[in-house]
Amino acid sequence: MNKLIRIYKSIKFERIIDFLLYLIIIQIGIFCYVLLINNDRVELNGILEIVLTVNGLFSAILITYFFSNISWAKSLKLEKYKEVELLSQKITNYRRILNKLTQYYNVWINDVQSKSLLEHNDNYKRITYYEFRMSGISDYISESEENIERLRDDINYSDVYTDAYLAIVSLVHDRKNDRLYYSSNDLYGDFERKGIYTLPFVEEVIEIDHCSMIWNFFDRYDILHFNRISMENQDYIKNCAKKINIKYNNRSVDANLIKEISDDMNEYYFPELHSLLVFLAKGLSKLDNLIYLLILFSLIIGVVSPLICLISIDFRFLTEAKCCIITLNICALIYFIINFHSMIVKEIKWI
């Protein structure tokens, strides 16, 4: 009994109402079919002509509305795409900053446990921070699992310098890429397509709190000699920071700057980019799908089928076919009337 009660509570009230409405529509359809098939005084051809005319007009209205909606959705997605490009460019500038932090020796406090270990050992070159962190916090098993275990057991491994360097360099370059040398500082190509970052990459960054972990390393430990970064590279970092947000203008290149930018990336830029990418990946909305199905039904059952019946010569099941078509159109009309209010609400309700 308790199980039945739990099942009952788990079923949404709206679904129960929908089921009852569909049941009523089916019953009305059966009633109409029986009434039409057993009533010789009903002029089926006359009704079919009305059905054909009404559905022709109805289909024309729906098609106009449908393509208007598609055009509006396309314009909206174009606006969102431009926002995605802007956010992607800011993230690229963040990666350029991180690139300067990993590009040279003698900048890290311990090169042996960071840059040298991860870039010159063939076993560790293809390990990503996502794989490394997921293997430590979940049951995730990657293709680099053996090398990850080997890295953790390495005599030069450090849970500070090695982890921090891997976290940073994994955002700079795609470590699964076979390129050994990166001559350009632009960093276009890795993790992005046509100027925007891919959804899987953004999801991985968010899943492991990648930028938050970078913030944590700079907040808790001294891992870099910022004073050893050349003035040219410091100016480059400042310029990239200013492009991300004007509030970073004229800031000193230090741990506080990296922390603040990483925090903003974690709290705003990556989550906002993720929501926009999800929006762009969506196809037709539920309402547009419903309208599309109504158009198909109206054209096939309300226009093409009646037309075929009207021009066909008399055959054995012609009367039954006419009754079925009329019945289906009556049921479709009832369904549309019942759902008309909810369709309007879905159209104007944004939140």
pLDDT tens, 131-177?
Answer: 989 988 887 788 888 888 999 999 999 999 999 999 999 999 888 87
Q: What does pTM read for this prediction?
A: 0.76
DSSP classification of residue 304: I
- Say yes or no to pLDDT of 233 above 90: yes
DSSP classification of residue 243: H
Q: What is the pLDDT of residue 348?
A: 64
- Say yes or no to pLDDT of 1 above 60: no
Q: Which residue has the higher pLDDT, 308 or 248?
A: 248
Q: What is the pLDDT of residue 161?
A: 93
Confidence band (pLDDT; 50, 70, 90) for 14? low
Nearest to 262 by CA among 147, 168, 155, 121: 168
| pLDDT tens-place string over residues 62-91 | 888 888 888 888 888 999 999 999 999 999
Confidence band (pLDDT; 50, 70, 90) for 181? very low
d(CA 309, CA 301): 11
Confidence band (pLDDT; 50, 70, 90) for 180? very low
Q: What residue ranges in the chain does DSSP mark as E strands?
A: 192-193, 196-197
Confidence band (pLDDT; 50, 70, 90) for 276? very high
Q: Which sign, positive or negative, has the C-alpha torsion 96, 99, 103, 109?
A: positive
Tokens of 271: 């989550």
Q: Which residues pair with 224 in a beta bridge?
A: 108
Q: Which residue has the higher pLDDT, 273 or 29?
A: 273
Mean pLDDT of 49-70: 86
Q: Which residue has the higher pLDDT, 163 or 36?
A: 163
Q: Which residue has the higher pLDDT, 151 or 333?
A: 151
Look up tokens 């539920």; give the residue.
286
Please provide the average confidence, as pLDDT, over all residues in the chain: 84
d(CA 141, CA 153): 17
- Say yes or no to pLDDT of 183 above 50: no
Q: What is the pLDDT of residue 256?
A: 94
Q: Which residue has the higher pLDDT, 312 or 157?
A: 157
Q: What is the pLDDT of residue 218?
A: 94
Mean pLDDT of 264-274: 95
Mean pLDDT of 191-212: 89
Q: Which residue has the higher pLDDT, 307 or 346?
A: 307
Confidence band (pLDDT; 50, 70, 90) for 101? very high
